């Protein structure tokens, strides 16, 4: 006689409660909500950092400095004067969002 394997079952009620939360979380993710591919910060000189700003231009507050190698997701880009500014979210912390100059982004 072979031992019987017991398969764990997830109650239907639990699935009904979890499914909407999972869908909402996935749809809110930048990767699934109109965000383009991954980009890497490149071309920042020496110890300097790329400034992520609160808006598309140098007149906006600096949120954080991004060193070379930082991965971001790009939502969209717009030209302001001679600079193309991209609305980005950090790959490692997607809640951290701002604008950077496209000149320092390389597709990953």
Name which of 66-70, 86-90, 93-97 the model is least confident about.
93-97
pLDDT score recorded for residue 27: 40
**pLDDT for res 35:** 74
Across residues 77-105, what is the average pLDDT?
95
pLDDT in tens, 1-13: 666 656 555 554 4
CB 73 within 8 A of CB 41: no
On the question of pLDDT at 30 being above 70, the answer is no
Report which of 49, 11, 35 is spatially closest to residue 89, judged by C-alpha positions. Answer: 35
Cβ burial of 40 (10 Å; 0-12, 13-18, 19+) is middle
Tell me the pLDDT band of 19, cut-offs 50, 70 and 90: very low
35-107, what's its fold?
SH3 type barrels. (2.30.30)
Q: Domain locations in the chain? A: 35-107
């Amino acid at each position: 006689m072979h031992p019987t394997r017991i398969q764990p079952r997830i109650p239907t009620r639990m699935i009904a409660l979890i499914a909407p939360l999972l869908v909402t979380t996935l749809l809110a993710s930048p990767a699934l909500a109109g965000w383009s591919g991954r980009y890497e910060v490149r071309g920042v000189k020496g110890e300097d950092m790329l400034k992520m700003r609160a808006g598309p231009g140098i007149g906006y507050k600096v949120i954080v400095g991004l060193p070379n190698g930082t991965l971001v997701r790009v939502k969209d880009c717009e030209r302001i004067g001679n600079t193309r500014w991209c609305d980005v979210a950090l790959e490692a912390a997607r809640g951290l969002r701002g604008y950077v100059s496209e000149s320092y982004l390389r597709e990953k």
